[in-house]
Structure 1
């Protein structure tokens, strides 16, 4: 009888352990898409060589906030929140470039879902162009993941691209951020020397690939068009192929940062993907 009781207790304990382990299953819980800027390009030809030369086009700028069991992770930070107070937006010197506006601040969108900047444990940026790093220093405590080639790339007047005081992990290739395969940084150089993309495994939505500026629009990705402003055409093409291979292997969705047509079909924060 004692053995039967002991066995029953052991089975009950194992069941409780399995239930607790299931409740604490690691990985991504949800992903929010944030509006991090809207703009109009004066000449789309600089992003799509030989196509729509001289025509203007609407752009969007997107950030992604990811709730992981180990903490909040932010991907890209968009146009500076300060642009929200500029009546005419952020007007470029070159009329062919993008005039950016900030209809919603990142700070306000975080507050709407009850997240404080101090809650963000880690972050990454696809690259260091101003429309992707505009609010990095809103999160001075967050570990910043960036490719060493990007970090070392001189900025304007040879200035550093980030504050030296910001905690950073310099990468030389792909990185499994939390060690469970749920958030993986993919090295995709070409647009800039250390451009990177992000692969996210969501429990219900499945795998999504956030391509950054590896391509600016779906049509450019499908037709392997490389903007003349890119750092390396050869690396750009290789990176697009790497993303295509990843998408095929994982059965993933491709989410393109600046593609307004795609973004207009997506659920924006405070809604989310899980």
Structure 2
């Protein structure tokens, strides 16, 4: 028979182990934060004349652009940021020619839906999404996800589209914002209001456990040279707001020791890991 002291010790040890396993289960169930970020190819193209992005400079010069979407795995579910050029462009042999020859002629080498399928993610799995703004190279596939709550600034949502048409289907579930938004309430994914390019433009601050903080710029800036020189493209709706938003991004970069990921910058995108690889 086990001596009384040994029996008491064994019982105490079993109780301690049970308590620890309970704490572990609670900790597991309370897991929060961003777990992974995937970089998706959402278009490639060539700008006919980059002077429209650099007023007074680069007259007649062309430049290759990319278009990027980001899939974020959070403990509470999948979040998609920007949706790129419409997937239908993938079926166009010569791509999508621009209405303005100075703008970007876009191609779609891979569809967004195909890249999600490769990751085992179905459109219905995306419960929340955001677009930096409503230009078609960022919002082209919003309706692939008709059930996903769309986070968008009210100023952007209310901005009249062509022929005064709404910019989104009125049936699409939406959360209208009037400033910054901590999406999941844990500080790991924060929408930053950065108007100027459009009335309700927004950017995204992502805090990854290993990579650290990253800001997804949307079109606050289109390529690194414009960022370095704080240039405001001629097509932006408000020059002063554009400059203020660049300063806001610079302040957040400094505070969070973050990286700036510029959506359309090909040289930077070519240096990044693309899905199915990921950042954690």
Is this a same-fold pair by TM over 0.5? yes
Question: How much does 1:6 deviate?
Answer: 6.9
Q: Distance in 2 between matches of 1:68 and 1:35?
A: 21
Are 2:19 and 1:17 aligned?
A: no
1:224-245 residue CA offsets vs partner (Å, 9 max, x unmatched): 1000110111111111111111
SS, match of residue 16 in structure 2: helix
Whose Rg is larger? 2
The equivalent residue for 1:138 is 144
TM-score (norm 1): 0.96
TM-score w.r.t. structure 2 length? Answer: 0.94
Q: In the TM superposition, what are the counterparts of 1:25-64 in structure 2 within 5 Å? A: 25-64=31-70
Corresponding pairs, count: 274
Aligned residue in 1 for 2:234: 228
Structure 2 CA distance for partners of 1:48 and 1:21, relative to 1, 3 Å: farther
Matched position secondary structure for 2:155 = helix
Query: How many Å separate the matches in 2 of 1:202 and 1:14?
Result: 30
Distance 1:243 1:17, change over 3 A: farther
Which ranges of structure 2 fall in alignment gaps of 5 or more residues?
none
Could you tell me which runs of 5 or more consecutive residues in structure 1 were left unpaired when the two chains were aligned.
none
Name the CA distance, whole Å, in 2 between partners of 1:173 and 1:271.
32
- Of 65, 69, 72, the residue aligned with 1:66 is 72
1:77-226 equivalences under 5 Å are 77-226=83-232
For structure 1, which segment, 45-54 or 263-272, has the greater mean C-alpha deviation from structure 2 after superposition? Answer: 45-54
CA displacement at 1:4 relative to structure 2: 6.2
Equivalent in 252, 258, 264 of residue 246 of structure 1? 252
Q: CA deviation at 1:5?
A: 6.7
Show CA shifts across 1:175-207 (max 9, x none): 011111111100000100000000011111111
Tell me the CA shift for residue 218 of structure 1.
1.3
Residues 85, 179 of structure 1: CA spacing in aligned structure 2 closer, same or farther, 3 A cutoff? same
C-alpha separation between the residues in 1 aligned to 2:99 and 2:134? Answer: 19
